[in-house]
Structure 1
Amino acid sequence: MKPRIAVLGCGYWGSNHVRTLKALGALYAVSDANRDRAEGFASEQECLALAPDELFEREEIDAIVMALPPQFHAETAIRAVEAGKDVLVEKPVALTVEDAGRAVKAAQDNSRVYMVGHVLRFHPAFEKLKALVDAGELGEVRYIHSHRLGLGKFHTENDALWDLAPHDLSMILAITGAAPVEVHGEGAAALDHLSDFAHLHMRFPGNLRGHLFASRLNPYRERRLTVVGTKGMAVFDDVEPWERKLAVYHHSIWQDSGQWAFTADEPHYIAVEQGMPLTRELEHFIHCIQTREEPRTNGEEAIRVLQVLTAGTVRHQRAS
């Protein structure tokens, strides 16, 4: 039987969870601080509309997906797991590493599934990219850089780094298999005291380097992750159509008479199975609820991402 899952928070991203869980046959209830909003979704999706407190009291609810403002995630997750519910918590799972650690420990103490919504880990193009890296197709990885740029959304509690970078950090940490040993952050606030632009520079064991650029005040969209290895380079570009989302560039570099020489091939586009990352993420959550397996994006990963965000955070005064 499918688990009975409730969605807490029916805003922009929460509404996507609602519709996807309905399509998967696992949506039991919706809840939101705005009762009218919850009732609208309940009517549309033919499920229950419950007050937030009711979610924790209803024994028939197996799990809760939380898409709340991040300052409410940790305490709400703790309350849920102590009430016997498995949880999928949207990113960021908390605003401090300490709060995230308390929530993850509460889930462990209560034998509950704790999963973080790093949805791009379930993108077919990223899964294929990671498989190429793991198989050694790119050689030894030396450098990774990601760009996530666009216009909006603007939040009152978290800046461009905390809102946009978790997706890319999750992918970068999955490829490196290690936490950075050094993190340096730079940011710029154009509207108020929160950064609208953010750069992260990271150094990993083995002198592997990483760079991340995130912006919520940019005139064009860019969603690109590039992995540079000794035998080849790969680019996951989520703005491109499916047949061009993953490109591999093979190259050779050598010294000839004291001078560097190189050859570079045209991109080879890798066939990628089409599939919605959110659907695949929620299918994985359902699987973990049913089997009690540890999620691919578990609480420990959520903490590692928060540690990097915290190390790279730059505070600003209001722009003049």
Structure 2
Amino acid sequence: MSPPVLGRWTDSSGLSLGLLGVGNIGTVHLKSARAIDGVDVVAAADAVPENRARAERAGVDRTYDDYTTLLEDESLDAAVIAMPPFLHADAVERAAAAGVDVFVEKPLARSTDEADRLLEAAAEGGIAVGVDHTLRYQPDVRGVKQAYDEGRVGHVPYASMTRVNDGPLGRPPAADEPPDWALERDGAGGGSLLELGVHCFDVLEWLFGDLEVESAAVDATLEVPVEDAATVLMRAPETGTTVTLHCGSYQWEELPEVNTRVRLEGVTGTISNADHLPTNFYADAAKSALSNVASRVTGDDPDIFGPTFYYQAHYEALSAFCEAIQRDETPPVDGRDGRRTLELAETAYELAAASDRDGVERPEVRT
């Protein structure tokens, strides 16, 4: 797939940004965008009145109930697409027609075919496509990457990654039903392998290069229409590393912790993301907040979202995208990266379907 045609964005006065979707993750992107120097969030669109009101309270001047109208009426440099996956392709195509660069929430699309369609539209429109694969921006994952690149444990024959949370059902007692699209293959493209696995595929190829999927299994521990658990066995030919991945949307998540584990078993030792996490999230947040207050006196730059460890990654990801398009560069995590994670997920689905699991009795899950 050809990279987008760059060289179009030349305005040095600032970057005008539109937000398509102001739900949970859209609100995170809104807060991030408003903290980025040289970025002006000029408009937001959401079909839900409460979400539009949230954007207005955050300082967005103009809100729309339809993203298509926003793209038609506003003169934008870029847009954040934070809507359900089944709307991503249409939103990118409309943005391409308007000449608007896009930062798309993961997964980029529901399939590689759909990704090809939207990337072709982006190339024809000469726009850049960035994808929000945030995990590679988390401080703990970056710590793993740095330690590995420095060769601290030598050759790594084996690595593992786990990402689990409570998924769209939320932590009980659930106050509201999840949106229909989140538990439908037509709406989301899949279950935990698309919701969580694509993040992990991105990190693992960032570490080890191209991966080959050797086997996979998916299951539903809860009575939901899509898989809420997936295990994938892979090999990285470039480094000779065997990798296992498990992702699942079945385990309650207790903030501020996020249940992500990355572990590299090297010949001279082990690298773990746990080594780069705060011992006490609350104490670390307080320390970071005090440091930011002191920076006002010393004139140093504050640590944006430092007190909120994981929100910092969302800020860094969006900031890197905005900086790239302002410099007429390809985004550091672009549409080809987003498509690649979908390709790995589809291979895992195919291998899981090929293995006959009909005779396996599934465990009863008690709540």
Identity percentage over the alignment? 26
Q: Which residue of 1 aligns with 2:33?
A: 21
Q: Which residue of 1 aligns with 2:302?
A: none
Q: Which residue of 1 aligns with 2:183?
A: 156
Tell me how large the CA RMSD over aligned residues is: 2.6
Q: Which residue of 2 aligns with 1:102?
A: 117
State the distance in 2 between where 1:181 and 1:151 align.
26
Deviations 1:179-210 (A, max 9, x none): 32534233234212311211111122154211
- Structure 1 contact 222–239 (Cα < 8 Å) conserved: no
Between 1:33-42 and 1:70-79, the stretch displaced more is 33-42
Q: How far 1:170 moved relative to its partner? A: 1.0
State the distance in 1 between where 2:123 and 2:86 align.
21
- Structure 2 contact 41–60 (Cα < 8 Å) conserved: no
From 214, 239, 258, give the equivalent of 2:247.
Answer: 214
Q: How far 1:177 moved relative to its partner? A: 1.4
How many equivalent pairs are there?
A: 291
- Structure 1 contact 146–225 (Cα < 8 Å) conserved: yes
Q: Which amino acid aligns with 2:342?
A: L
Q: Which amino acid aligns with 1:42?
A: E
Q: Which residue of 2 aligns with 1:281?
A: 317
* Structure 1 unmatched runs, 5+: 245-272
Q: Which residue of 2 aligns with 1:260?
A: none
Are 2:156 and 1:141 aligned? yes
User: Which structure 2 residues correspond to residues 94-243 of structure 1 after superposition, within 5 A?
Assistant: 94-154=109-169, 155-157=182-184, 158-180=190-212, 182-205=214-237, 207-219=240-252, 222-237=259-274, 240-241=277-278
Q: Which amino acid aligns with 1:202?
A: M
Q: Which amino acid aligns with 1:8?
A: L
State the secondary structure of the residue aligned to 2:123: helix
Q: How far 1:288 moved relative to its partner? A: 1.3
State the distance in 2 between where 1:73 and 1:61 align.
18
State the secondary structure of the residue aligned to 2:165: strand
Q: Which amino acid aligns with 1:28?
A: V
- Structure 1 contact 55–61 (Cα < 8 Å) conserved: no
With over 3 angstroms needed to count, the CA separation of the structure-2 counterparts of 1:185 and 1:311, relative to structure 1, is farther
Q: Which residue of 2 aligns with 1:33?
A: 47
Q: Which amino acid aligns with 2:242?
A: R
Are 2:91 and 1:76 aligned? yes
- Structure 2 contact 183–224 (Cα < 8 Å) conserved: no
Are 2:322 and 1:295 aligned? no
Following TM superposition, the consecutive aligned residue runs of length 4 or more in structure 1 with deviations greater than 3 angstroms are: 237-240, 314-317
State the distance in 2 between where 1:16 and 1:296 align.
20
State the secondary structure of the residue aligned to 2:30: helix
Q: Which residue of 1 aligns with 2:174?
A: none
Q: How far 1:226 moved relative to its partner? A: 1.0
State the distance in 1 between where 2:31 and 2:18 align.
12
State the distance in 2 between where 1:142 and 1:285 align.
33
With over 3 angstroms needed to count, the CA separation of the structure-2 counterparts of 1:106 and 1:237, relative to structure 1, is farther
More strand by share: 1
Deviations 1:101-157 (A, max 9, x none): 221222223221100000111123322321222222221222221111222324223
State the secondary structure of the residue aligned to 2:75: coil
Q: Which amino acid aligns with 2:218?
A: E
State the secondary structure of the residue aligned to 2:90: helix
More helix by share: 2
State the distance in 2 between where 1:64 and 1:46 align.
14
Q: Which residue of 1 aligns with 2:172?
A: none
TM-score (norm 1): 0.82
Which protein, 1 or 2, shows the higher relative CO under an 8 Å CA cutoff with sep ≥ 6? 2
* Structure 2 unmatched runs, 5+: 1-12, 170-181, 185-189, 282-304
- Structure 1 contact 29–42 (Cα < 8 Å) conserved: no
- Structure 1 contact 183–308 (Cα < 8 Å) conserved: no
